[in-house]
Structure formats: structure tokens, C-alpha cells
A and B are shown apart, each in its own frame.
Chain A
């Protein structure tokens, strides 16, 4: 795997000669003659700063990205002059419609702008002083254990592909890096939330099995709808319930919700772009979802996810509290499935009559 230089430069007379010439002030300056598109990008809205969209101009524009990127396998910045001899980085994601979305620039800028830091943006002192039912405290510790597992996989997903995506798709790679950070932040905050009030509980075999199936998708678009849309939609619902535990938790989980909503938004954008540019993909992706939607049930229905949600949703383990918790969770799961299928349909993938999830969650 190691990569080596084309020669031993220390023994190369040409290199020594070049060094001597430089030190004598003999410059080559061939690059100086290059003429590229002399754009001068400026902020279209000064309040917002200089966004990637503002910089998508002239020959540097993302609109000029071809469906098949064949001309550049190197790290050269898109729009710079490519010269012979650039290395091939071995990128395997070179087809725009597999990975692109029209909202990439917007989401990347939003993720930076709406960043937060768990250490200081959660009022840990007030949280410690909040009076919780002991069962709710334990449930929060369990829920945060489970959510740590989910967030870890949501962090692994983009990193698994960044390395394979052609550098021409710079803004997408940047968004995926932002998602890595967003999910690292989720991993951090759930760990802190649990360890500040009792510690972690039990990892979940079912949740992890389901996550691994989604993470290991054969190709990017399948992985993207699996993690960003399927898991992302579920997270939006789980966070809504978790936010009811206390006012501090409401702040905490709303922040997490914002980050998960960007996963979902990118997933929708990615799917919509893919379907708009590719014939006959509906059936392929429907079949894929036929095969993996059981993972959604595996995560949502896992004891380590379901039970703490019920206890938090109802405020305790007394029969009345459990009854109200069950009602809340049942309703949120139905809403989440409905929203998930609605998002797919809007992106161009109608499967409301096909998915087994509505029936599964209606049965409860």
C-alpha cells in the first residue's frame, strides 16, 4: 500500500542542479503565464458572508461538474490547471448523480453557522440540580448509551466514503466532514449526558446489528438513504421524545435535532438528484429498501431504545406513566414512519403502499 517517489531525489543530479539554480535566483515562472478564469467572488449578502454558492462562478462553478468525472483523479482544486503527471488517487465515486444534491452548499454553510459545543452549550450544573424520577434518570442513561451507538455509526458513514469521493466534488466532501463533526458532537454529548447522571447502561445487539447492515451498504446512494433518511428520520422522532425529560434536555435534544435534520435534508437532496438524473432507479432502490427497512424496526423496537423512550415519554414506571409513555412512543413512531415515507415520496420514491413499516408500527 505504501507509495514511493519516482526516484531517489538525494541522488538525482537534476535536483541538485535545480537547487543551485534557484539559489542563484534563476526562476522558471512558467505558472505565471497561465491564464485561468479571473473571477472575483464577493458576498451576495454581506450579513451571510462569502458562501460556497457565491464562489460557484465561472469555470469554478459546481454547475459545470459533469455526470462522469473522467478528467481528474488527482487532488487538484476544481478549476485549477491540470498538468500531465498528476497522481491518480484511486477515487471510486466519480459519478455526480450518485452522490450530489442541490442543497449541499446551503447545508454545509448551515452546519458551520449552527455549530455548538456540548462542554459549554449545555447547562450541566442546572442539569445536575434538576429533580428527575430515578427511573427517568436510568432511562436517560440507557437512551444515551443507545444513541452513542447510533451516532458513532452516523459518524462512520461519511468517513467511509469521503476517502473514495473524487476531489472535484469538494463541497460534498466538505459537507460529509461537517457531518463527521456533527455526529462526533452527538457521540460526545450523549456520553457526557450519561456520565453526568449515573453512567452508561447496556449496549444493544439489535441496534448494532441493524446499524451495521445499513452502514455496510454496497454503494453510496443506498448507504445514503439508509443512514441519512431511514436512521435520520428515526432520530428526529427519538429526539422529540427525549426532549421532554427536562428543560435542559429540551435544549440539548433540539440541538441534536437540528444536526440530524441536516442529515435528512441531504439524504432527500441526494435521492432527489439521483432519481431526477437516472432512469429506472426507482425499482432498484425500492428493492433495496424492501430489504433493509427491517433495520428501522430493529433499532426502534430494540428493548434498549424502546423502553427508555417509554419511561421518559411517560415520566416514570408507574402503570399510568408507562401507559402514557407507550401512547407517546407509539404515536411518534407512526409519525416518524409517515414522515420518512413522505420524504421519500417527495424525493421521487413512492413506497407508501409497499413498505412494511406502517403496518408494523400500526399494530402496536
Chain B
């Protein structure tokens, strides 16, 4: 499988002689000084923001000039550099802009770099040490955290899997997914650390959800992976974190969810802007996406079997295990699920996949449930 460079540099006399000659005589080639590239002097448009990728969007280097199909660069060269003969092929399989690009990706990548945080130091762990959680809250919370740790790990694998496939000309996207991998590693970290600091430890893995996660990971195209991971799954998680006011047992936990939420919102933002871009620039893929979403929704409906996720949510939102707690928890959880589903369809609408609602069996169930709840006077 190994790749071998086209030259063995220590045995390549021409290479060795040139090196020794330059070093011994000081006669340099310097032909690179006349590289046929644009002379640019980018400065920051807003000094408080510093020098951003958007400031680099200039003639000869910018992302605004990216063609739909990248044909010129197949190697590791940075976009805009002169590419000489003899460079290797990086074996990218994603070479179409519409397969990865998103409106404002250059903004998301800057935001990601500047809003990094540290699970080790940004949570008042010492304060949490004092917080005793009652058994039912503690166990339910530990179970929920176990599930969240599981979810986050898949979200590191997906960007990593695509990194090497994405053409080097899409550098803003590559950097975005590198940062997403780090964001998700930090999420897995913080949920694990929180679980292990509750006094209850990690609980049970979720079979049902793990199969769903495997589906997210093994999507055939980047766009399919993105629409189900960034938009659908992370969208659901984002809604869940917004419910953290109900489910967080302490203020420090609320802070934890707020920090994670910022990152998640960025991932969802990218997912939506990518889907919008895709719908505009490559609308033919609509049917393939529908097919992929159909299976994603099938998994979602099947998550009714993941009682190790729903039940902790019910207990946490009802704040206990007594009948009145469970009743209250069920109402809140029901509302939360409705909200999740509604927001999912809203996101798809906004991105131009407006016909999803009429084709979706999940939407049918959602409408029926809504009518049922309305008949009971619950909503």
C-alpha cells in the first residue's frame, strides 16, 4: 500500500548535487522568486477581528473565485500557489465545490478558532465537588451523560474520515472540519468528565442509538453525511442543549451546556449553509438527499427503543421519579420532542428542501401527535 516518492532523494544525484552546490557556493537558484502568482498585501478590514480568511479573499487566492469543479489542483499545494510539474496526487475524491462548500464557511472557521474553550479549566469543577445530587437525579444525569459521550465520539470520526478526501483548494472547509473534530473531542471530554464527577460514573451504552450513529458515520457522500450529522443530528442535540435549563441539576451544568451549545450551533450553521449552497448549485442531488433523510428519519423513529435516553430525560425534566415528577417530565419531554421535530423541518425548509414535509413519514407522525395533543388540550 505504501506510496514511494518519485525520487529517492539520497540516491538522486541531481538532487544531491544541487543541494551541495547551493550550500557550498552560495549560488542560489531563486527561480521561485519569479513564481507566476499574484502580488497581494491583505490587511484586516476590522482590526479588532484581526486578519481573517475573509480578508484573504482576493484575486488569485480567494474562495469567491472557486470553480464548481476543481481541475487544476490535485496535490497538497495551497490555493493560489504556482504548481510545478511532478507534484503528487493527494487522491482527493471530493473535488466539487457544491459537495462541501457553505455560505460563510470562512466566518465559521474564524469563529471556531477564536471561540475555543477548555473543558478542564472553564467549568468550576471545585464548585461541582460540593454539589450532591439526589440518587434519582444523579443516576438519570449520569445515564444522559453516558449517551452524550457516545454521541460526541461519532462526531469526531465523521470530519476525520472526510478530511483526506477533500481537495486542498477547499482549505476553509478542511480547516472547519479539523476544528469540528476538536470541538467534538472536547464535548466527549466534558461529558465524560462530568459523568465521572457526579459520583455515579458512566452507565449503559445505547444499542439503538449507536446503530443510528453508525448510519451517520457511514454516509456515502460528504453532503449526505453533513445533512444528517450537521443539520439533523446536531440540530436535535442543539435543541436538547437549549432545554438544559430544565435538565441541568446545577448552575455549573448549565454553563457546560451553554459552552457546548455555542459549538453545536456553529456546526448546525455550517450544515444549513452547506445544504443551501448545495440546493442552489447542484439541485439534482435533491432525490438522493431525500432517500438518505428517509432512512435518517426511520432511525429517528426507531429511537423510541432507546429508553436509556428518553427516561433520564423524563426524570431530569420532571425532577424526580415520583408519579407527579414522571407526569410532568413526560409533558416536558413530549414538548421537547415536538420542538426538535418542528425545528428539523424548519431548518430543511430554510435550506430549500421544502418538500421534505410532504414526503416524510416522520412528519405524518408529528402531525398526528400534534393533533392528539391539541385534542387533549396539552398544546
Residues of chain A whose beta carbon lies under 8 Å from any beta carbon of chain B = 1-10, 12, 15, 18-19, 22-23, 25, 27-32, 34, 36-43, 46, 48-52, 55, 57-60, 74-77, 79-87, 89, 109, 112-113, 115, 117-122, 124-125, 128, 135, 138, 142, 145, 148-149, 152-153, 155-156, 158-160, 162-163, 167, 170, 173-174, 176-178, 180-181, 183-185, 187-188, 190-192, 195-206, 208-213, 215-218, 293-295, 297-298, 301, 303-304, 306-308, 310-311, 317, 319, 322-323, 326, 329-330, 356, 360, 363-364
> Could you say which residues of chain B place their CB within 8 Å of the CB of A83?
204-205, 207
> Could you say which residues of chain B place their CB within 8 Å of the CB of A117?
50, 113-114, 116
Q: Contacts A36-B202, A174-B188, A200-B61: A167 and B153 contacting too (C-beta < 8 A)?
A: yes
Q: Contacts A210-B5, A301-B19, A307-B29: A60 and B125 contacting too (C-beta < 8 A)?
A: no
Contact of A148 (CB < 8 Å), options: B3, B78, B179, B299: B78
B-side interface mostly:
helix
> Could you say which residues of chain A place their CB within 8 Å of the CB of B24?
364
CB distance from A303 to the nearest CB of B (A): 5
Q: List 16 A-B contacts (CB under 8 A).
A: A5-B295, A30-B307, A31-B307, A40-B196, A77-B205, A124-B44, A124-B51, A149-B77, A155-B174, A177-B184, A200-B78, A202-B31, A202-B82, A203-B76, A307-B32, A311-B28
CB distance from A165 to the nearest CB of B (A): 9
A-side interface mostly:
helix
> Could you say which residues of chain A place their CB within 8 Å of the CB of B189?
52, 174
Q: Is the CB of B160 within 8 A of A159?
A: yes
Q: Chain A residue with minimal CB distance to B82?
A: A202
Q: Is the CB of B218 within 8 A of A3?
A: yes
> Could you say which residues of chain A place their CB within 8 Å of the CB of B200?
36, 38
Which segment, of B35-43, B94-102, B232-240, faces chain A?
A: B35-43
Question: Which of B29, B87, B119 gathers most chain A CB within 10 Å?
Answer: B87
Q: Is the CB of B32 within 8 A of A34?
A: no
CB distance from B42 to the nearest CB of A (A): 5
Q: Is the CB of B204 within 8 A of A19?
A: no
Q: Is the CB of B26 within 8 A of A319?
A: yes
Which segment, of B142-150, B267-275, B277-285, B341-349, faces chain A?
A: B142-150
Q: Contacts A49-B121, A170-B153, A356-B10: A203 and B75 contacting too (C-beta < 8 A)?
A: yes
Which segment, of B52-60, B243-251, B351-359, faces chain A?
A: B52-60
Q: Contacts A50-B120, A301-B19, A307-B32: A200 and B88 contacting too (C-beta < 8 A)?
A: no
Tell me if B340 counts as interface (CB < 8 A to partner A).
no
Q: Is the CB of A192 within 8 A of B116?
A: no
Tell me if B316 counts as interface (CB < 8 A to partner A).
no
CB distance from A5 to the nearest CB of B (A): 5
Query: Interface code B214-230, partner A: CB below 8 Å = 1, 0 otherwise?
Result: 11011110000000000
Q: Contacts A30-B307, A145-B78: A201 and B32 contacting too (C-beta < 8 A)?
A: yes
Tell me if B379 counts as interface (CB < 8 A to partner A).
no
User: CA separation between A218 and B314, bound complex, in Å?
Assistant: 49
> Could you say which residues of chain A place their CB within 8 Å of the CB of B68?
none
Contact of B210 (CB < 8 Å), options: A10, A76, A215, A319: A76
Q: Chain A residue with minimal CB distance to B84?
A: A205
User: CA separation between A353 and B104, bound complex, in Å?
Assistant: 54
User: CA separation between A15 and B307, bound complex, in Å?
Assistant: 12
> Could you say which residues of chain B place their CB within 8 Å of the CB of A128?
41, 43
> Could you say which residues of chain A place their CB within 8 Å of the CB of B326?
25, 27
Tell me if B199 counts as interface (CB < 8 A to partner A).
yes
Q: Is the CB of B311 within 8 A of A201?
A: no
Q: Is the CB of A22 within 8 A of B207?
A: no
Query: In which size bucket is the chain B interface?
Result: 35 or more
Q: Is the CB of B40 within 8 A of A195?
A: yes
> Could you say which residues of chain B place their CB within 8 Å of the CB of A58?
201
Contact of B308 (CB < 8 Å), options: A31, A85, A310: A31
Q: Chain B residue with minimal CB distance to A325?
A: B26
Q: Contacts A19-B304, A155-B178, A178-B185: A163 and B161 contacting too (C-beta < 8 A)?
A: yes
Query: Interface code B70-89, partner A: CB below 8 Å = 1, 0 otherwise?
Result: 00000111101111111110
> Could you say which residues of chain A place their CB within 8 Å of the CB of B365?
10
> Could you say which residues of chain A place their CB within 8 Å of the CB of B193?
41, 50, 52, 55
- Residues of B119-150 contacting chain A, CB below 8 A: 119-123, 125-126, 129, 139-140, 143, 146, 149-150
CB distance from A111 to the nearest CB of B (A): 9
Q: Is the CB of B1 within 8 A of A218?
A: yes
> Could you say which residues of chain B place their CB within 8 Å of the CB of A304?
32
Contact of A188 (CB < 8 Å), options: B7, B175, B217: B175
> Could you say which residues of chain B place their CB within 8 Å of the CB of A40?
129, 196-199
Q: Chain A residue with minimal CB distance to B364?
A: A10
User: CA separation between A87 and B207, bound complex, in Å?
Assistant: 7
Contact of B41 (CB < 8 Å), options: A5, A15, A76, A198: A198
Q: Is the CB of A159 within 8 A of B178?
A: yes
User: CA separation between A7 and B205, bound complex, in Å?
Assistant: 21
> Could you say which residues of chain A place their CB within 8 Å of the CB of B178?
155, 159, 180-181, 183-184
Q: Chain A residue with minimal CB distance to B149?
A: A77
CB distance from B92 to the nearest CB of A (A): 10
> Could you say which residues of chain B place their CB within 8 Å of the CB of A121?
50
Q: Is the CB of A199 within 8 A of B40?
A: yes
Q: Contacts A10-B298, A173-B185: A204 and B84 contacting too (C-beta < 8 A)?
A: yes
CB distance from A240 to the nearest CB of B (A): 18
Q: Chain A residue with minimal CB distance to B162?
A: A159
Q: Is the CB of A307 within 8 A of B220?
A: no
Tell me if B105 counts as interface (CB < 8 A to partner A).
no
Q: Is the CB of A152 within 8 A of B32?
A: no
Q: Is the CB of A322 within 8 A of B301?
A: no
Tell me if B289 counts as interface (CB < 8 A to partner A).
no
Q: Is the CB of B40 within 8 A of A162?
A: no
CB distance from A314 to the nearest CB of B (A): 9
Q: Is the CB of B304 within 8 A of A191?
A: no
CB distance from A238 to the nearest CB of B (A): 15
Q: Is the CB of A203 within 8 A of B77?
A: yes
> Could you say which residues of chain A place their CB within 8 Å of the CB of B213?
75
**Given A155-B163, A162-B160, A201-B37, 17 new contacts (CB under 8 A):** A1-B218, A5-B212, A25-B327, A39-B201, A80-B202, A112-B118, A120-B114, A124-B51, A125-B44, A173-B156, A177-B185, A181-B181, A195-B61, A201-B32, A202-B82, A203-B77, A203-B81
